[in-house]
Chain A
Amino acid sequence: NAGVTQTPKFQVLKTGQSMTLQCAQDMNHNSMYWYRQDPGMGLRLIYYSASEGTTDKGEVPNGYNVSRLNKREFSLRLESAAPSQTSVYFCASSEDPGGWMAEAFFGQGTRLTVV
């Protein structure tokens, strides 16, 4: 049972480069999320997708775009990477069809460094 799988696990980018972080879940969950975690900080929500075909901004969306490719996959794209985007990125999913009871499952993270 894989749960939430993120690729890649590590990445180093030069300033201005672009890349896409991939996330897939095998739990048939409706909702998916992207968070970032800076050193010594809690997680901050970047974007989320309440259901297939919908995406919405979270707390810190600037510099990112997302695509909910299908129910399983939710990707995060950095069009022009900046050093301020150096962080650990976590993808999560939850069953939550709008109810209150579901818990979220997290991937193992992508450690991104922008130089």
Chain B
Amino acid sequence: DAKTTQPPSMDCAEGRAANLPCNHSTISGNEYVYWYRQIHSQGPQYIIHGLKNNETNEMASLIITEDRKSSTLILPHATLRDTAVYYCIVRVADQTGANNLFFGTGTRLTIIP
């Protein structure tokens, strides 16, 4: 299973772009990178995922390096509601193809007013 490494905490000023890094140096060629976040101990919320190309949706952008060993989640204009723990996950599938998401401890992002 590919493992991920994230900084335990980060701060970002409100209105600025928040850039959250993730290292996944042992990722295999067919594994996707997923990002989830968890606000106030609620259930985790899906943000975005990608394989090789950069991805963008209404919530965020995902930049994956060409060698796929690291990625960055970008929240373009952070608001106070973006304060949460952000998890970078590499998707693992067993023989049945089940979508098992293995969570680490994530990055606690605090948006500063």
A61 within 8 A of B: no
Known A59-B102, A100-B91, A103-B49: A43·B44 in contact at CB below 8 Å:
yes
Give the total number of A-B pairs whose CB atoms are below 8 A apart: 71
A58-104: which have CB < 8 Å to B? 58-59, 88, 90, 92, 94, 96-104
User: Could you give, for residues 72-113 of chain B, a 1 whenever the CB lies within 8 Å of some chain A CB and a 0 otherwise?
Assistant: 000000000000000100010110111111111110000000
Chain B residues with CB below 8 A from A96, complex form: 97-99
Chain A residues with CB below 8 A from B32, complex form: 100-101
Chain B residues with CB below 8 A from A92, complex form: 43-44
**Nearest CB to that of A42 among chain B residues?**
B103
Give the total of A residues in contact with B, Cβ under 8 Å. 35
Extra A-B contacts (10), CB below 8 Å, given A33-B100, A42-B87, A90-B44: A37-B41, A42-B105, A44-B103, A45-B102, A56-B94, A100-B91, A101-B49, A102-B99, A103-B34, A109-B42
Binding site for A on B (CB under 8 A): 30, 32, 34, 36, 41-46, 49, 87, 91, 93-94, 96-106
Binding site for B on A (CB under 8 A): 4, 31, 33, 35, 37, 40-45, 48, 50, 54, 56, 58-59, 88, 90, 92, 94, 96-109
